[in-house]
Amino acid sequence: MSVTSLSPSFPAPVPASEAPEKLAVWPTSARPTAEGDVTVAGVSLTEAADRFGTPLYVLDEGEVRDRCRAYRTAFPEADVVHAAKAFLCRAMARWVEDEGLGLDVCSVGELGLAMTAGFPAERIVLHGNAKSPEDLYTAVRLGVGRIVLDSSSEIARLAEIVPVSDRQQVMIRVVPGIAASGHTKIRTGTEDQKFGLSITDGSAQHAIARVLAQPRLELVGLHCHIGSQISSVKPYVAAVRRMVGLLTQIRDQHGLELPQLDIGGGHGIAYRPGEDRLDIVALAHRVQAELNDGCAHAKLPVPRLTIEPGRALVGPAGVAVYRVLTVEQTSRRTFVAVDGGMSDNPRPALYGVRYAPRLIGRGSAADPALVTVVGRHCEAGDILAEDVPLPGDVRPGDLIAVPAAGAYHLSMASGYGLVGRPPVIAVRDGSARMLVRRESLDDMNRRDIGL
C-alpha cells in the first residue's frame, strides 16, 4: 500500500525538553502537543485513530531499525536474530533483513510468512519445544540455516526427514538451571519445565551423543534461553559460564569443539516510567568477557555468539490506541472501558503486566484520578491497566494510548468475541502506511464452513 500523509501540518509540539519526563516509555520520536495529542514519528495519533479506526497498533519504523542497529553495534561479532514470536509481518521481516539481522521462528506459519517476504532461509533459526512434523519438514525443504532440537524425540524425527545426501545444522537446547525472570510463567531456564534438555540429569549430554551418531545431522552448537523480561546482566553471565562448562565436557568426551553458542533473548524493556530495562551494551561486554575468559581457561576456541532479541527490538516502538466506550463508577473504583481488551492484549491477564496509559486527543485541566482501564470482553480479568492515573474528566469518546505495545500484542491477539484483530500501521517521517489490515467480519465468516 502506498504511503499516506495524514496531515500536511501538525500542532506545535511541547518543547522537547519536556518529552523525556512525560513520555519516558514511548517511542523516542513521540512528542506531546499543546492540544493534548501525541505525535509519533511526526504522525498524530488522533488523526491515525480517526483514519484507521480503533483499536489500532502504531509502530515506529525508524525506532525498530534504530534498535536493530544498536544491537549490531553492541554485538558486532555475533549473529543477532529477531525473535519472530514477539512480532512478525512481512514489513518487519524486510526491516530485519535490511538491518543485517537473522530471524528466529517457532512454526511453519512464521517460517512461511518470512519466506514470502523474501527472507534468506540460511539466516533463519527454527526452534520451539514441540515442533510438528510439518514444521521440521518445511524447515528442511526450505533450507533453514539452523534447527534447535528441544527434546530427544526430535532427533530421530529430524534425521528421517533430512535427505540422505544432506546434513542439517542443528543445536541442542540446554536447560542451564537458572531462574532469571520475575514471573513463573516466563521462566524457561529452570529445571522441571517444558523447554530443553537438562545438564543436571544428563538429558543434554545423552542428546548430544545421539545427535553425533546421526550422519544427517551436524551439531554446530548449544542453545539456551533463560526466560523473558530480564533486566539484569548477571543471569546471562551465569548461563554462559555453565554453557562453557558443557562445551568443555563435549570436547573432552567427544573430541569436538563446537563453533556456536546461542544464549537466547528475553531482554527486558520498561513498560512504565522508572522500571528497569536491560542494558545491551553492558550485556555485550560482560557476556563476551565471560565467554572469552571461560574458553581461555578451558583452552577452547571461542564460539560465535547468537542472541535472539524480540521484545527489545519492537516493544518500545509500538503504541496501542483505544477509544473509550463507557466510564462507570462503583463504590470503590472507576472503570474506564475501551473498545479492545484481552483479545488484542492478553498479557495483563496472563502475566500481570502493568502499563501506563495516557489520554490523548484533547487537553484536560482535571486533576488525575486512579482508574482501572478494562476491555470489552465478558471476563472479570479483562483488565488492561489497573489503578492508573488518568484525568478525572475522562469520558466516552476519548482516546487512550498505551505505550510499549509493539511486542506480544498482535502475535498473541485472538478471535475472542469475534471482534476482529486490530490493524498495524507503520509511521515514519510524518507519514503512515498500513502493514496489517484489520480483521473483518468477512474474514471470520469465511472460516466458518459448517452449514
Q: Do the Cβ atoms of 81 and 306 come closer than 8 Å? A: yes
Percent of the chain with pLDDT over 90: 85
Give the H or E element holding residue 446.
Answer: helix 441-447
- 348 has a pLDDT exceeding 80: yes
- 150 has a pLDDT exceeding 70: yes
> What was the pLDDT predicted at 192?
58
> What was the pLDDT predicted at 3?
44
Q: Do the Cβ atoms of 83 and 265 come closer than 8 Å? A: yes
Spatial CA neighbour of 318 closest among 431, 424, 413, 422? 424
15 confidence band (pLDDT: 50, 70, 90): very low
- 180 has a pLDDT exceeding 70: no
Neighbours of 50 (CB within 10 A): 13
92 confidence band (pLDDT: 50, 70, 90): very high
182 confidence band (pLDDT: 50, 70, 90): low
Any idea which residue has 581461555 for its cell?
296
Q: How far apart are the first and last CA of the chain?
A: 35
> What was the pLDDT predicted at 19?
40
> What was the pLDDT predicted at 279?
97
- 174 has a pLDDT exceeding 70: yes
Of residues 3 and 109, more confidence is placed in 109
Per-residue pLDDT, averaged over 192-198, amounts to 70
- 312 has a pLDDT exceeding 90: yes
> What was the pLDDT predicted at 5?
41
Pairing of β 304-307 and β 260-262: parallel
Per-residue pLDDT, averaged over 277-302, amounts to 97
- 116 has a pLDDT exceeding 80: yes
Neighbours of 369 (CB within 10 A): 14
Q: Which of 59-68, 122-131, 423-432 has the lowest mean pLDDT?
A: 122-131
352 confidence band (pLDDT: 50, 70, 90): confident
DSSP for 82-144 reads EETTT---HHHHHHHHHTT-EEEE-SHHHHHHHHHTT--GGGEEE--SS--HHHHHHHHHHT-
Spatial CA neighbour of 362 closest among 320, 319, 393? 393
* Angle at which helices 153-161 and 203-212 cross, to 10°: 20
Distance in angstroms (rounded) separating the CA atoms of residues 244 and 199: 12
Per-residue pLDDT, averaged over 82-94, amounts to 98
Q: What is the DSSP letter of 13?
A: B
Give the H or E element holding residue 58.
Answer: strand 56-60
Q: What is the dihedral of CA 199, 205, 206, 209, to 10 degrees?
A: 160
Length of the chain, in residues: 451
Per-residue pLDDT, averaged over 10-34, amounts to 68
Q: What letters, b where the CB count within 10 A reaches 16 and e where it falls short, cover 195-217?
A: bbbbbeeebbbebbebbeebebb
195 confidence band (pLDDT: 50, 70, 90): low
Give the H or E element holding residue 248.
Answer: helix 234-254
pTM: 0.91
Torsion angles phi and psi, residue 39, rounded to 5: -105, 145
Q: Do the Cβ atoms of 399 and 54 come closer than 8 Å? A: yes
Q: Alpha-carbon torsion 75, 76, 79, 81, what sign?
A: positive
Q: Which of 21-35, 144-158, 292-306, 333-347 has the lowest mean pLDDT?
A: 21-35
Q: Which of 64-68, 70-74, 90-94, 190-194 has the lowest mean pLDDT?
A: 190-194
- 181 has a pLDDT exceeding 70: no
Which domains, and CATH codes, for the chain?
A: 4-60+316-447 (2.40.37.10), 88-309 (3.20.20.10)
Distance in angstroms (rounded) separating the CA atoms of residues 304 and 322: 44
222-236 per-position pLDDT tens digit: 999 988 899 999 999
Distance in angstroms (rounded) separating the CA atoms of residues 431 and 451: 44
> What was the pLDDT predicted at 1?
41
> What was the pLDDT predicted at 227?
87
- 22 has a pLDDT exceeding 70: no
Residues belonging to the active site:
378
372 confidence band (pLDDT: 50, 70, 90): very high
- 351 has a pLDDT exceeding 90: no
Amino acid identity, position 242: R
Distance in angstroms (rounded) separating the CA atoms of residues 237 and 235: 5
DSSP bridge pairs for 223: 173, 262
Any idea which residue has 502493568 for its cell?
354
Spatial CA neighbour of 71 closest among 253, 238, 280? 280
42-53 per-position pLDDT tens digit: 999 999 999 999
Amino acid identity, position 445: N
Q: Do the Cβ atoms of 434 and 446 come closer than 8 Å? A: no
246-285 per-position pLDDT tens digit: 999 999 999 999 999 999 999 999 999 999 999 999 999 9
